[in-house]
A and B are shown apart, each in its own frame.
Chain A
Amino acid sequence: MRIVISICGIWLFAQAGLAQESLHRQVDALILANAKGKTFSGSADDAEYLRRVYLDFAGRIPSATEARRFLDSKEVDRRTKLLDALLAGPEYAASMEGHFHVMLMERLGDHADWKKYLQRSFADNKPWDELVREILAAGPQEKAPGAAFFLSKRLENYGANPVDYPALTRDIGRLFLGKDFRCAQCHDHLTIKDYKQHDFQGLFVFVKNVSLSTAKTTTPGVTEKPTTAKIEFSSVFGGDKVQTGPRVPGLKEIAIPTLKKGEEYVEKPDVKQQKPGVLKFSTLAALSEQLPTPANQAFNRNIVNRLWFVLMGRGLVHPLDLDHGDNPPSHPEVLDLLAKEFVAHKYDIKWLVRELALTQTYQRSSQLPPLVKNAKPEEFRTALERRMSAEQLLRSMLQATGMTEVKAAKGVPTFDTMSPTFVKAFASEPREPEEEFSPTLKATLFLLNDKSVLSWLEAQPGNLLDRLGREIDNRKAVEELYLSVLTRLPGIDEAADAVRYLDERKGRRPVALRNLAWALFASTEFCVNH
């Protein structure tokens, strides 16, 4: 009896302890338990951690000076201090905008107001539910200029192709609910029993009367016609006709109010004044009120899964937009816990990314454990190599080549001037998710021969090659090079090889230095977030 009581006591104690345990510790415990005794990679060394955390929260690699400062630090809590400094730093908002722009727009297009809107939102640490509410309600323009871009870009038509409303419907399902209702447009999904035609059609009703506004605003806006009746559909495989009004999958259908013709508006649209009018019943308003709510489990699961993907390189649910009963998460308890806690913390994005970055899972090395040839990515026993976005590559190359330090009247590359070129070279085609490191011939030819990038590797006052050229000691030059480009010091063999390479080319040291630098920029180590 006493034994039972004491076991219960331990259990209760453990439960109480768990409840107070920070989220990152709980996550690590669950990941560990799931591995059933398999070995894990050790913690990333300081240099690997430094590079990773800079890429994630500053959108670039650190400078050699920043790297030295951190690597020389002996403080026990230097990692947490650095993380907090970056989260509070001036580059956090832009780096988060980068993650979310790629995630939500999937390279469909770009707009300065949209980027500003996202940056301001992350700078203010706007809760995720509020952000989504603004995006789905397309603003309003006065309150959240730029937010409408998510919808308006998808409401454009190309040539004689009509506006692709089914694609917009799918994107809302995929990006905010983690569910791709693609095949359920015309019939219940054949292989995914959770995805019903009713779900697609219900979501479709919210957007079918929405269109691109003709009003002249800096960000293209959207306008909405009254929705007065349900839609009727039937499966292409036959069967009865069914009706649905607007309904978020998994939630109750919204009743469409009966309004007499001509009385649908609180304020009628005025074409001359370019006023869109105010509807008594707006499906967009209904969508933005219903979808991003704590009661909507799919909404909660989707965002924590996507943030997990952003920082860990793979979703717990994978692919990110196929959350359904027959495709369970790799770690269901982790997903549930993250979703629950994120809601409890009122969709506080900065809090969640901080907790994720504090996990051992995030801080593991990308080197496999000893004697292990390959670890399944979904086990999260070894850090995954993540794709760097075109924007991260550009910021990192400007930083590493030292072009950020070059002072000249004109012709100095900046992030803004070079961004389109890098997006063209490194981004995927529209709607092709950038989820894996996936080098292309186009990008390779760009790195090999593009004249602007090659010019960054010519000595210009203040840049990397200028610094290396003025350093007479080859060993020191190689150290500076490695620290600037790869955010680490060279290994013994690497240093020896590089120094020998330079020693043998005394007569043409500038090009030898350039060749060495180029090779590091073109290496896989530089091109991935490892």
Chain B
Amino acid sequence: MNFKKLCTPLDHRISRRQWLGGVAGTTAGALGLCQPGLAQELRRRRKQVLFVWLEGGLSQLESWDPKPNTLFGGPFRAIPTTVPGIHISELWPRTAQQMRHLAVIRSLHTQDNNHSSGVGRIQRGDPANRGVTYPYFGSAVANLLGPGESGLPPYIWVKPGSGGFVTSDAGFLGPRYGALALGGGRAPENLLRADSVSEEDDRERLALRQLADRRYVQQRRTQGTEANSYVYDMAAQLQRHAHLFNSTTLPARDLERYGPSEFGRHMLLGRRLLEAGVTFVKVDSHGWDTHGDNFNGHSNAVPKIDQAFSAMMQDLADRSMLDNVLVVLMSEFGRTPRINGHIGRDHWAEGWSLVMAGSGIRRGVVVGRTNALGTFVEGDEHDIGHLFHTWFTALGINPSRTRYNNAGQPLPIAHEDMEPIRALLA
């Protein structure tokens, strides 16, 4: 068996496709992925990720770990799901119907309960304090799995508000692994050809540009012109896929199923991107910060998520995509069991929950538990590092054997003192 050959192709594919920018910068890439079986498997069945991010804190008591009729339980009931014995909050009736695909973890105890610093801490995982800025999960996956053959950037982020090229997500991996953010679900700025330039003019001006570069580079170093051609190729590829970013062409029937909310539309856009082969799709929902009026807050906000998320789960299952797509739905932290004077719940990192599904994840299970009042975890606690281990493993990446190469400095991709949560893995 020719091991040498099997050890390298992914690395090459990643370095050829330097997506978002900064082509000439320092090179950081994946050192590992050297298990021959894995490389073949990845090529055969490409792994993808759908990461649904509720910015702020979703209350575990109003979602995956309800404690009805207890001191801190709040007004909502728990309802049964399609998996006997698993109950979730009544705010999620549609997701309850999808429980057979889902895994719930109720034993999270993370470190940071602060906004802004919390987002980075959770999405970066921060496995090692080596004086470098770790990449967000999306950039990490973009780097480790690459863009595949879709011709699309590996990390696309559908979010409310403004969009752009968010290179800061990539940390030390460098700008090319940043996110292409579709603000308000809109196409990236300047993607579409201006009306004043006809298709013919566009072809001609690009050909003239190439000719100019060919002449200029004669007897010069080639790095500059190569980097420039590269981004022009990327721009052309993205323009060929412009239809994907047009949310006015989303199927009406599906729009109805995903719900009339912005989040529903964004999730449907996310499905289209996954179907087109984008490696990592992140969909954001904002405003999860119910320090006051927690219960009305959740009963207003959750149904939008419930409807779109359950429709997405149904669609991924129907399309046999759950075998390859890892799905995570989470927020920065949970919310305090204690109900404050404003009928709100504050930030709580000490005992909270989230759901995941799909590639490599067991289906229809609950892992971990909190005590009767829901205040703290009973038994093993799990930190963000355990989750990163679990997710990487679920994607077929060995987190203890794979290293980033930060310009020569090998860095672990996940906490060296932690392990995957085996009970979550299929």
Residues of A within 8 A of B (CB): 158-161, 182-183, 185-186, 366-368, 370, 374-375, 382, 385, 428-429, 432, 436-446, 448-451, 454, 458, 491, 493-494, 497, 501, 511-512, 514-516, 518-520, 522-525, 527-528, 530
Given contact pairs A448-B235, A450-B190, A515-B205, A159 touches B115 in the complex (Cβ within 8 A): yes
Say if the beta carbon of B1 comes within 8 Å of chain A. no
Chain B residues lying within 8 Å of A515, measured Cβ to Cβ, are: 201, 204-205, 208
Q: Which of B153-184 contact A (CB under 8 A)?
A: 164-165, 167-168, 175
Given contact pairs A432-B175, A445-B188, A449-B193, A440 touches B209 in the complex (Cβ within 8 A): no
> Smallest CB–CB gap between B187 and chain A, Å?
10
List of 7 A-B pairs having minimum Cβ-Cβ separation, nearest first: A440-B21, A159-B116, A519-B208, A523-B212, A445-B190, A515-B205, A449-B190
Q: B211 to A497, Cβ gap below 8 A?
A: yes
Contact of B209 among A443, A446, A523 (CB under 8 A): A523
- 16 more A-B contacts (CB under 8 A) besides A160-B116, A440-B23, A527-B228? A160-B117, A367-B219, A438-B24, A440-B21, A440-B175, A441-B165, A441-B231, A443-B21, A450-B190, A454-B194, A491-B215, A511-B198, A518-B209, A519-B208, A522-B209, A522-B232
Chain B residues lying within 8 Å of A432, measured Cβ to Cβ, are: 22, 167, 175
Q: B191 to A445, Cβ gap below 8 A?
A: yes
Which of B164, B197, B208, B227 is the most central at the interface, judged by chain A CB atoms within 10 Å of its CB?
B208
Contact of B20 among A436, A441, A516 (CB under 8 A): A441
Say if the beta carbon of B220 comes within 8 Å of chain A. yes
Q: B131 to A182, Cβ gap below 8 A?
A: yes
Say if the beta carbon of B251 comes within 8 Å of chain A. no
Complex alpha-carbon distance, A375 and B221, angstroms: 8
Chain A residues lying within 8 Å of B193, measured Cβ to Cβ, are: 448-449
Complex alpha-carbon distance, A169 and B24, angstroms: 28
Q: B191 to A449, Cβ gap below 8 A?
A: yes
Chain A residues lying within 8 Å of B22, measured Cβ to Cβ, are: 428, 432, 438, 440
Q: B21 to A441, Cβ gap below 8 A?
A: yes
Complex alpha-carbon distance, A221 and B192, angstroms: 44
B115, closest chain A residue (CB):
A160
Say if the beta carbon of B238 comes within 8 Å of chain A. yes
Which of A440, A441, A518 is the most central at the interface, judged by chain B CB atoms within 10 Å of its CB?
A441
11 A-B contacts, Cβ less than 8 Å apart?
Answer: A385-B224, A445-B191, A445-B238, A449-B191, A454-B196, A519-B205, A522-B205, A522-B209, A524-B217, A527-B228, A528-B224
Q: A440 to B231, Cβ gap below 8 A?
A: yes
Complex alpha-carbon distance, A519 and B190, angstroms: 17
> Smallest CB–CB gap between B378 and chain A, Å?
30
A386, closest chain B residue (CB):
B224
> Smallest CB–CB gap between B411 and chain A, Å?
13
Q: B221 to A161, Cβ gap below 8 A?
A: no
Give how many A-B residue pairs fall within 8 Å (CB-CB).
Answer: 153
Chain B residues lying within 8 Å of A186, measured Cβ to Cβ, are: 129, 131
Q: A519 to B194, Cβ gap below 8 A?
A: no
Q: A438 to B23, Cβ gap below 8 A?
A: yes
Which of A514, A522, A528 is the most central at the interface, judged by chain B CB atoms within 10 Å of its CB?
A522
Chain B residues lying within 8 Å of A382, measured Cβ to Cβ, are: 221
Contact of B216 among A454, A497, A523 (CB under 8 A): A523
B232, closest chain A residue (CB):
A444
Say if the beta carbon of B69 comes within 8 Å of chain A. no
Q: A493 to B25, Cβ gap below 8 A?
A: no
Which of B23, B188, B201, B231 is the most central at the interface, judged by chain A CB atoms within 10 Å of its CB?
B231
> Smallest CB–CB gap between A207 and chain B, Å?
18
Q: A519 to B212, Cβ gap below 8 A?
A: yes
Chain A residues lying within 8 Å of B211, measured Cβ to Cβ, are: 497, 519
Chain B residues lying within 8 Å of A444, measured Cβ to Cβ, are: 231-232, 234-235
- Interface membership of chain B positions 107-125, coded 1 if the CB is closer than 8 angstroms to chain A and 0 otherwise: 0000000111110000000
Say if the beta carbon of B130 comes within 8 Å of chain A. yes
> Smallest CB–CB gap between A203 and chain B, Å?
15
B221, closest chain A residue (CB):
A374
> Smallest CB–CB gap between B163 and chain A, Å?
11
Q: A368 to B219, Cβ gap below 8 A?
A: yes
Complex alpha-carbon distance, A90 and B180, angstroms: 41
Complex alpha-carbon distance, A479 and B235, angstroms: 30
A377, closest chain B residue (CB):
B221
Q: Which of B62-120 contact A (CB under 8 A)?
A: 114-118
Q: B189 to A445, Cβ gap below 8 A?
A: yes
> Smallest CB–CB gap between B72 and chain A, Å?
25
Complex alpha-carbon distance, A443 and B20, angstroms: 10
A433, closest chain B residue (CB):
B25
Chain A residues lying within 8 Å of B309, measured Cβ to Cβ, are: none
Q: Which of B1-53 contact A (CB under 8 A)?
A: 19-25
Say if the beta carbon of B213 comes within 8 Å of chain A. yes
Given contact pairs A429-B175, A523-B209, A438 touches B168 in the complex (Cβ within 8 A): no
Chain A residues lying within 8 Å of B116, measured Cβ to Cβ, are: 158-161
Contact of B19 among A441, A450, A493, A516 (CB under 8 A): A441
Chain B residues lying within 8 Å of A158, measured Cβ to Cβ, are: 116
Q: B220 to A368, Cβ gap below 8 A?
A: yes
Q: A183 to B131, Cβ gap below 8 A?
A: yes
Complex alpha-carbon distance, A158 and B115, angstroms: 11
Contact of B165 among A159, A442, A448, A491 (CB under 8 A): A442
Complex alpha-carbon distance, A428 and B213, angstroms: 24
> Smallest CB–CB gap between B350 and chain A, Å?
18
Given contact pairs A159-B116, A368-B219, A437 touches B224 in the complex (Cβ within 8 A): yes
Q: A438 to B204, Cβ gap below 8 A?
A: no
Chain A residues lying within 8 Å of B115, measured Cβ to Cβ, are: 159-160
Chain B residues lying within 8 Å of A527, measured Cβ to Cβ, are: 228
> Smallest CB–CB gap between B182 and chain A, Å?
14
Contact of A442 among B131, B164, B212, B221 (CB under 8 A): B164
Say if the beta carbon of B299 comes within 8 Å of chain A. no
Chain B residues lying within 8 Å of A436, measured Cβ to Cβ, are: 24-25
Contact of A366 among B164, B190, B212, B220 (CB under 8 A): B220
> Smallest CB–CB gap between A446 and chain B, Å?
5
Q: Which of B202-252 contact A (CB under 8 A)?
A: 204-206, 208-209, 211-213, 215-217, 219-221, 223-225, 227-228, 230-232, 234-235, 238
Complex alpha-carbon distance, A134 and B196, angstroms: 50
> Smallest CB–CB gap between B130 and chain A, Å?
7
A437, closest chain B residue (CB):
B224
B22, closest chain A residue (CB):
A438
Complex alpha-carbon distance, A515 and B209, angstroms: 9
Complex alpha-carbon distance, A204 and B114, angstroms: 26
Contact of B117 among A161, A437, A450 (CB under 8 A): A161
Complex alpha-carbon distance, A444 and B217, angstroms: 19
Chain A residues lying within 8 Å of B224, measured Cβ to Cβ, are: 385, 437, 524, 528
Complex alpha-carbon distance, A429 and B177, angstroms: 13
Complex alpha-carbon distance, A439 and B209, angstroms: 15
Q: B196 to A458, Cβ gap below 8 A?
A: yes
Given contact pairs A449-B192, A454-B196, A458-B196, A437 touches B221 in the complex (Cβ within 8 A): no
Chain B residues lying within 8 Å of A501, measured Cβ to Cβ, are: 208
> Smallest CB–CB gap between B58 and chain A, Å?
19
> Smallest CB–CB gap between A392 and chain B, Å?
16
Q: A438 to B235, Cβ gap below 8 A?
A: no
Given contact pairs A366-B220, A497-B211, A518-B205, A524 touches B175 in the complex (Cβ within 8 A): no
Q: B209 to A519, Cβ gap below 8 A?
A: yes
Q: A440 to B205, Cβ gap below 8 A?
A: no
Q: A524 to B215, Cβ gap below 8 A?
A: no
> Smallest CB–CB gap between A194 and chain B, Å?
16
Complex alpha-carbon distance, A186 and B215, angstroms: 52
